[in-house]
A and B are shown apart, each in its own frame.
Chain A
């Protein structure tokens, strides 16, 4: 069997690579000297590389994020860790109104190439304020790039690409993926500008698009969908802003059917964006049925496990949606 790599280990490898090879890189954020804030993904990095390059901080999301941006404007390629997206919202002015605008409003005379690692950490009855992902929010902002890897190799390689890019990037990793394994293909250096959606498995009957954890659910559903006599073409978005829709458009022109699964809310979301951008281009005569989006219910995350089952996307729902669209 080929060598496997866990998603969390892959992120750890990316940090190790960056700390070893890039003097201009440092990582800062709450909990970086604690073993439990960010799981295995940063274990003992402070011990190996020192507390001046792996920096734990006061409880000040706004100032710490702003300081990261300040360091990025003055020569560093830093990354700030937010162990939960929910808390990162305290820093929204710095991310959306400062970093994302910095290059444009100064006429290309400056830039803020900081990376914001936003960890999606939900489920387990954590409730409304410990469960958000909000990728669509960030993907709405011109000037911000939003990266959301599903595959462990991508988690490593795109983290490196995000940090080395000359733009501000939101890098979103999902704790539900940390124990997932992929075949270890080794570090591949990719320019973030070249990152596009990717076909994970080819099929003729139905295009299914997802990103991050929903990709795992789609892949887990593949066997049952095949059992229905439907060959799905599965596409991993990988980068949510800006999106190159060409691959999805070509796929839909072939299959005539589109199902988009997004682990965020429906309203003004990524799923709507994908469906809209495809239907604007693909001739209606290609469509054999109406596109479907499968998302979270438009409600805050509940706590009770009974309601959680109702709220989150499941394999069964993906299979049901595939049936419906056929």
Chain B
């Protein structure tokens, strides 16, 4: 069967499964709709959380990023997994005991203030919407690349599918669909990795293969890779950090506490039956996430090696890479390179006119590399490889059968759809439950609230689709913003709500606002006011990364510190938190008496 037919079969088949599950798990009550009735077992909830968490960016882009960054890419690996430890120990069990549907509901009740809830809703909507734009574009890209439809058509298809199962199934439909999506995306990620690891090192387990020796040679894969990239003038793979050590440190913290503060991840822990289950569910979530996150560095390093070894036989055989016949003749390049050249993600430019492909770092300061390249008559790097290729083309680079390529297509789409659905649920519950039911129309019946929730979700899908079709040009930068906001607003307010029973509403509101403003101020200084080009004001803060060399992506940590500090000081000068709230906090701290999660007051 040819690739196109197989891809249609795999993608179409997975869609049929998702919709089938959605019909089976229709939501009948607001409890079903928001928290799947609160009855999802920890292991299944862990899987669903994994799918919810691993977005199109994790699936398609992360390995490529690590491949280029080397050791420094570890900040994504540690940052996006370490947050679950914080979740399990500091947030999930207590929020579950609190027993409310949403994060803003917790804020509203704990800080006895609708104002605090509104601030939380604003933070939540900003985060979720910026995040969802990336998912919709991810769906569009994957569809157009693998199914041969236009980008627009891809987004419409994606909207239709999400609409079908998210609007009718609510959290219940989403949760069980995500379990299926997890299975699809994880097999799509690991199957090619297993093949590639086996080909390169003879060990089918990528996590072990990365530490293994190259087949038929007496050298470790990582040692060879280090040697090859340094000789070609790149930074050593296993030691090169991006930016300063301090920045890597702060960036990792930012991603960790940002992860723990993402509302669409937090609400997953309201779907489990007990407080004890909330703790272990975070562990299961991390197990399922770790399968992808420990495979990614193997995919990254092996792809880096494979790409260089494909175009330079010296790198492959451990011989002189600067020899005249080491570089691949362009006319003899493998089929997959031709295919990806068409997409523009792979580009070759014959700078020295010898008809061969040279790959090296032409901006290097490494004298030895410069001298060797000059002696060999290399006039500049000739091959540019887009980072996204690393995952999408890996089955082709390793010459795997067509069904593996079709599986990767289905996996990429599953990753984008599952995250989009989780985000849509967080958005719709914030609007229908926190704003409508709690603040504007307290008399809303459960039936009408359910209808309102579905309408809010449908509208969000339309907005997300619109933004996916007309991406505001800053989609990439906004993901960093989403984590920055989560880290500097939601995480601190939840922490203080649980661990400081004297924290009052004045402190909480002042803390959230100052965390938000400080973070936005620093990010906008680098990227422009609301990401509009030309409105950067770096001069005002004294140049790029002026705060101890910290990049805007890493600034959420500083925002969080400001949040904690301001909240503490303000709470000391304002009326103390009422007695009954302090008792409430004490009650939240013990598991006994946990009830079904509900929307009631």
Partners in one complex: no
A residues at B contact (CB < 8 Å): none
B residues at A contact (CB < 8 Å): none
